[in-house]
A and B are shown apart, each in its own frame.
Chain A
């Protein structure tokens, strides 16, 4: 991961205006608060021959995630834990969810569990799940009953 800031002042453009506004820190300006009741948030997508699951896992690496698939479901689990020095007493504000989590998803069609692959990067887990080939209808030609000697 490329580091920004820390020494060089790249991402901060700052203007020294009247630094008189002293209000309580922090004050929210705008924007909808995300629901923290569910962690992690995920999106399920579908194409003709596959499903894709995109899971938001900020702060987690691939080794922190356990993924299990069956023919029609997947279970992802893991833990996001606070560093020991980040005790609650030293925090002024705690909104980010921490703890052990697990989510199970039932898919609306069967998948080939052997063909499932997953990638993780920048706090996003992407899972690709190919659908099982549907059993296609096959036309069967009806033949005449063969009349064998002695049968009639």
Chain B
């Protein structure tokens, strides 16, 4: 019962983070396909969304990075919700962990690109990176805390 509540809480937390990430990624996508200057973000120096979102790094393999971000959060929604967190399915648990790790790795790479390649920070991108890293932390700790019983039947008294 207690574990069920933990899983539900983790699911709600994961869902909130994923929805926040989806919102930021959607906003960046809209800006990408309209005008990069519509982003509510300064472009007077180091904080410069336009410089980041229109850089050569903003497109990978011919696909705008914002679409990768949007797709990432869309898929993540499937495994970051209370129902998925309550599920003991090994496939779901593994997929959630792999997605979270991939998101965090991508976030670290993009932070490096912004700091050391572009010399500019995009606030909206940073929000997405923060969400990805928080999802990794929540998923890692949550997966450990809700690991299913090793020998469930043996615990029946």
Genuine A/B complex: no
A contacts, CB < 8 Å to B:
none
